[in-house]
């Protein structure tokens, strides 16, 4: 008896052959290129007189790269399906703590290192509370936000600490290398490479994404779910503290209200970058590109004569549009919202891990 052969499925080519994350990344690159072409060719003041000018393409980085650093940190937590609302207050608290240590007689760089380490310990404590007591990360980190914000206000007193060393301000704030490349860009590049290697080239990163995809499946595969989530909160706090150092260096003072304003832009950069808000999917390069899209969008629109209010509206529309497009793309791939919710809450059958990340 002859066996009927099944017709071979047509092979996808070109754009359709790429996975969802890669297509999203390439789309973001296209948006960034279009944005820069418009601002550089259509807005005469955007270039600001050349590379070395503070109001130039690279010079604008001094005012948004610390937000990008924070986005890279909170990204680890979101990959695991959690959220960290304390990072804004964490950065402000870190800056105040560093400045008070220095004004108390401590060497500035020792104060920087000690402040970052202590913030990492705070992230560790938050992660332990969340995993040990099985509490929602949103509520725990929201409480952490209030505690850190209040602690920073009480510590700085009526006059925020200022008069920080010029070497510190130059290295992490307004300084440049060769009069062209902002020193903050070097710090961000180091953190970006580190984040990419952690997520896409390490066992921890694979486990992190698998947990975000389905915690029950990750535990069944032998992943130490609680420990991995705790490490994500430590990384988030560490990156937020480094961002806080850069904020203090940029403005020459440490204030409790400088960090919290960075929270929503940082989360927006992560979501716009293609990281699933439920966890388990996304690419670090997407977050990097998205942070530059948002970073250059605000000064570009302001230079184009758009009011600050409409600039915020434009960012909101961009975020809403990206979420809608991402949702339609996921639906086209057969991934429904209710399925991701069931996987996130562990109420559905284990599903296979995402194809873009190897299983742990």
Residue 160 sits in a domain whose CATH number is 1.10.3470
Q: How far is CA 335 from the centre of its chain?
A: 24
pLDDT at 8: 53
CA separation for the pair 299, 151 (Å, rounded): 32
pLDDT tens track for 309-335: 888 888 888 878 877 877 776 666 655
Residue 25 in any domain: the answer is no
For residue 40, tell me if it sits in a domain: no
Crossing angle of helices 284-303 and 65-79, rounded to 10°: 150
- Burial class of residue 16, CB neighbours in 10 A (0-12, 13-18, 19+): exposed
Q: Which of 122, 127, 116 is nearest to 83 (CA)?
A: 127
Q: Rounded to an integer, what distance in angstroms lies between the CA atom of residue 27 and that of residue 10?
A: 25
Is residue 53 included in any domain, yes or no? no
In a domain, 46, yes or no: no
In a domain? residue 35: no
Q: pLDDT value at position 12?
A: 61
Residues of the chain with pLDDT under 70: 1-17, 45, 47-57, 329-360
Domain count, the chain: 1
What gap in Å lies between CA 260 and CA 105, rounded to an integer?
27
Cβ 80 vs Cβ 228: under 8 Å: yes
Whether residue 217 lies inside any domain: the answer is yes
Quick check: is 34 in a domain? no
pLDDT at 340: 57
Task: List the domain range (segments joined by +) for residue 233.
Answer: 60-325+335-345
**Residue 62: its pLDDT value, please?**
80
In a domain, 352, yes or no: no
- How far is residue 88's CA from residue 294's CA, in Å, rounded to a whole number? 17
DSSP track, 244-284: HHHHHHHHTB--TTTSGGGHHHHHHHHHHTT--TTSS---H
Q: For residue 224, what pLDDT is reported?
A: 95
Tokens of 164: 């920080």
pLDDT at 52: 46
pLDDT for 302: 83
State phi, psi for 352 to the nearest 5 degrees.
-70, 150
């Amino acid at each position: 008896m002859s066996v009927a052969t099944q017709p071979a499925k047509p092979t996808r080519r070109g754009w359709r052959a790429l996975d969802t994350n890669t297509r999203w990344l390439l789309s973001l690159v296209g948006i960034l290129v279009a944005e820069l072409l418009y601002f550089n060719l259509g807005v005469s003041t955007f270039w600001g007189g050349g590379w070395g000018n503070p109001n130039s393409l690279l010079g604008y980085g001094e005012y948004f790269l610390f937000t990008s650093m924070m986005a890279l940190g909170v990204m680890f937590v979101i990959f695991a399906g959690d959220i960290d609302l304390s990072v804004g207050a964490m950065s402000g608290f870190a800056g105040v703590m560093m400045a008070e240590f220095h004004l108390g007689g401590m060497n500035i760089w020792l104060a920087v290192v000690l402040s970052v380490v202590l913030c990492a310990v705070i992230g560790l404590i938050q992660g332990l509370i969340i995993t040990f007591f099985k509490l929602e990360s949103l509520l725990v980190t929201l409480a952490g936000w209030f505690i850190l914000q209040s602690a920073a206000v009480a510590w700085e007193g009526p006059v925020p600490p200022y008069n920080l060393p010029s070497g510190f301000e130059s290295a992490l704030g307004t300084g440049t290398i060769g009069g062209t490349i902002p020193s903050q860009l070097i710090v961000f590049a180091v953190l970006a490479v580190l984040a990419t290697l952690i997520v896409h080239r390490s066992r921890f990163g694979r486990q992190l994404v698998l947990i975000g995809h389905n915690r029950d499946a990750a535990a069944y595969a032998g992943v130490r779910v609680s420990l991995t989530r705790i490490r994500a909160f430590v990384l988030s706090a560490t990156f937020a503290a480094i961002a806080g150092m850069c904020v203090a260096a940029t403005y020459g003072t440490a204030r409790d209200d400088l960090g919290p304003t960075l929270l929503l832009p940082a989360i927006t950069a992560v979501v716009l970058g293609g990281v699933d808000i439920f966890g388990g999917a996304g690419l670090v390069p997407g977050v990097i590109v998205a942070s530059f899209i948002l970073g250059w969008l605000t000064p570009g629109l302001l230079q184009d004569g758009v009011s600050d209010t409409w600039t915020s509206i434009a960012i909101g529309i961009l975020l809403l549009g990206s979420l809608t497009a991402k949702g339609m793309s996921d639906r086209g791939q057969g991934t429904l919202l209710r399925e991701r919710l069931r996987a996130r809450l562990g109420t559905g059958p284990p599903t296979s891990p995402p194809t873009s990340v190897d299983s742990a």
